[in-house]
Structures are given as C-alpha cells and as structure tokens.
Amino acid sequence: MWLRIFCLFCLVTSALCCVPCKEVTCERVPNNCPVGVTKDPCGCCGVCAKNINEMCGGPHNSYGTCGIDLACLMDNFSYDQDPRDLPDAPIGICIKARRITPTPTENMLEEELQ
C-alpha cells in the first residue's frame, strides 16, 4: 500500500524515486553491449550504455548514458551540471566524443627547438 502511494507521489512530482539498491533485483546484463555497460538511472543495476544516435539524458538521466567514446549532445544544457541531478534536463542524442588536444604554445615550441 505505502509503496503504491510512494510511486504515485513520484509520478505526480516528476521526481526520481529509487528504492534502495539492496531491495532491487537486477536483470542480467547482456554480454554483447557494443559500447559498454553503465548503471541505470538509480545507480543500482548494470545496463547496456547507449550507442551512437540513441536518445540519452533526459529528466534524471532517465534515457540513459552514452557508451565509450560517445557524449550526450543536449540543446540548451550547461555541462557543468550533472543531468542525473536535474528533473528538467533535456533529452539528447549520443554522438562521437571529440577529443580536444591543446594547441602548443609559442613557449612550448621554443623549448622543443632548443
């Protein structure tokens, strides 16, 4: 009875409602996750990470996390925030992550030449 009331409250308030992990029975994670394994939005169970062009992010990261070498591209989102903590985080799409390498400064080049 109380669990139903709790779940109804969560639906109405659009809050992320997670029961303690010790009370959760997780499904077996498939062996063939092409871009790796991550945790579900509650952080209890392993799930296949999202692949390129799949939806990700969303409220409390409900659409999942992108896999290895991928990033969740979301419109109008500040990346200094963790989408798992935000009830209104936008839904994104997994894209190839870009690796940013620093451009050598003039001082670095001079040191290498000496």
Q: Where are the chain's structural domains? A: 33-78+88-99
pLDDT at 6: 45
The model's pTM is 0.65
pLDDT at 94: 94
Longest dimension (CA), the chain: 76
Cβ–Cβ contacts within 10 Å for residue 73, how many? 16
pLDDT at 77: 63
Contact 66, 56 (CB under 8 A): yes
pLDDT at 109: 53
Residues 6+ apart with CB under 8 A from 95: 52, 53, 70, 71, 72, 73
Please tell me the CATH code under which domain 33-78+88-99 is placed.
4.10.40.20
Residue 50 has pLDDT above 50, yes or no: yes
